[in-house]
Amino acid sequence: MKQSRLAFWIFLAPVLGWLLLLIVLPHLDMLYMSFRSGNFSDPGWTLANYRTFFEEPIYWLTFVRTATYAVVTTLFTLVIGLPVAFYIAKVVRPRLSGALMVLLLLPFWVSELVRVYGWMILLRESGVINYFLLKAGIIDTPIEMLYNDATMIMGLVYTSMLFMVVPLVSVMESLDDSLVEAAYDLGAGKLCIWRTIIIPHAKPGITSGCIVVFMLSLGNYLTPNLMGGKNSLWFTEQIYNQFIASFNWNQGSAFGFLLLALSSGIVWAGLKLTRQKLGEVAS
C-alpha cells in the first residue's frame, strides 16, 4: 500500500505541474493583465481595456462579426457533413466505408497552412480555376475569387470539416438499422425518417461536432488572415495586432479574455442545452 501511495504521487506531480503552470496560471495572469493599466508611469487597476472594446465600434463589430461567421461556418459544415457521415456509416458497403474513412481523415493531418495555400493557388486571379474558365471561354477576364467573405467561410468549412464528420460517423454507426427498416415498412417517407429517427439519434454527435467546429473557427487565425480580404477582419487578428504590432499587452489580454469567455460560454450553453458533459463529448 505504501508503494501505491508513492506511485500515486509520481503520477500526480507531473500532471499537477502541467495543469497549474501551463493552463491555470497563464490564464489567471491574462485575466490579471487585462485589468491593469498599460501605462508604466501610472500602473494600477483599471477597466479601461474593456471600455476601449465597447467604445471603439471596430472592436466589438469585429467581435460580433467573428461570432456570426463562426456560426455560419458551423451550419455549413453540418449541412455538408451530415450526408457524408450517413453515406459512410449506412449507405456504402462496409468494406468500402473503412477505406473512405481513411481517405477523409488524411487531408486533415496535413498542415492547415498547406491546405489554405492549395486553395490560394486554385482560386486567385492567376489561379488554376481561372485558367480553366478562361480556356473554356466561359469568362473573358480572370475573376479574383480570393479575399472575400464567401471564400473565407468556405476555407473555414474546409479546415474544420473533419471535426464534424468524425463524431457524426460514430453516432450514425450506433443507429440500429432495424429502426429505419421498420419506419420504411410502415410507409414513412425519407424526409420523415430523417426528421423523426436519424436526426434525433444523431443529436449528441451533432452537438459535439458543432461545438468543436464553432470553437475552432472562432479561434482560427490562419484561414481568415490568408483568405479573407482587407475588410474581413477576424477577432484573433485584433488580438495579434494588439500583442505584436501595438505591443499593448493589456489591451490584448482583455480581447483574449473576451474571446475565451465567448467561446467557453457557447460551449457551455451547447452542452447544457443538449444535457451532455464535456468528458462525454471529448471521448
Site for other proteins in 211-250 (CB under 8 A): 211, 215-216, 218-222, 226, 236, 239-240, 243-244, 249
- Whether 80 and 157 have beta carbons less than 8 Å apart is answered as yes
Q: How far is the CB of 54 from other proteins (least distance, A)?
A: 20
Q: Is 100 helix (H, G, I), strand (E, B) or coil?
A: helix
How many positions of this chain bind other proteins (CB under 8 A)?
Answer: 91
Of 48, 72, 75, 122, the one binding other proteins (CB under 8 A) is 122
| CB-CB neighbours of 58 under 10 Å | 10
By CB under 8 A, the residues from 101 to 120 that bind other proteins are 102-107, 109-120
Cell numbers at residue 77, please?
459544415
Q: How far apart are CA 205 and CA 108, in angstroms?
A: 19
Q: Is 103 helix (H, G, I), strand (E, B) or coil?
A: helix
Q: Is 148 helix (H, G, I), strand (E, B) or coil?
A: coil
- Whether 214 and 71 have beta carbons less than 8 Å apart is answered as yes
Cell numbers at residue 159, please?
479546415
Of 27, 51, 61, 246, the one binding other proteins (CB under 8 A) is 27
CB proximity list for 180: less than 8 A, separation 6 or greater: 90, 193, 197, 198
Half-sphere exposure of 145 (CA within 13 A, CB side): 19
Specify the residue, 72 or 80, whose C-beta has the smaller distance to other proteins: 80
Q: How far is the CB of 108 from other proteins (least distance, A)?
A: 9
Q: How far is the CB of 64 from other proteins (least distance, A)?
A: 17
Q: How far apart are CA 226 and CA 246, in angstroms?
A: 21
Q: How far is the CB of 225 from other proteins (least distance, A)?
A: 8
Q: How far is the CB of 224 from other proteins (least distance, A)?
A: 11
Q: How far is the CB of 55 from other proteins (least distance, A)?
A: 22
Specify the residue, 206 or 266, whose C-beta has the smaller distance to other proteins: 266
| CB-CB neighbours of 227 under 10 Å | 26
Judged by CB under 8 A, does residue 131 bind other proteins? yes
Of 37, 184, 201, 276, the one binding other proteins (CB under 8 A) is 184
By CB under 8 A, the residues from 42 to 101 that bind other proteins are 80, 83-84, 87, 90-93, 100
* Per-residue interface string for the shown chain with other proteins, residues 135-174, x marking contact by CB under 8 A: -----------------------x--x-------------
Q: How far is the CB of 132 from other proteins (least distance, A)?
A: 8
In DSSP terms, 36 is beta-bridged to 45
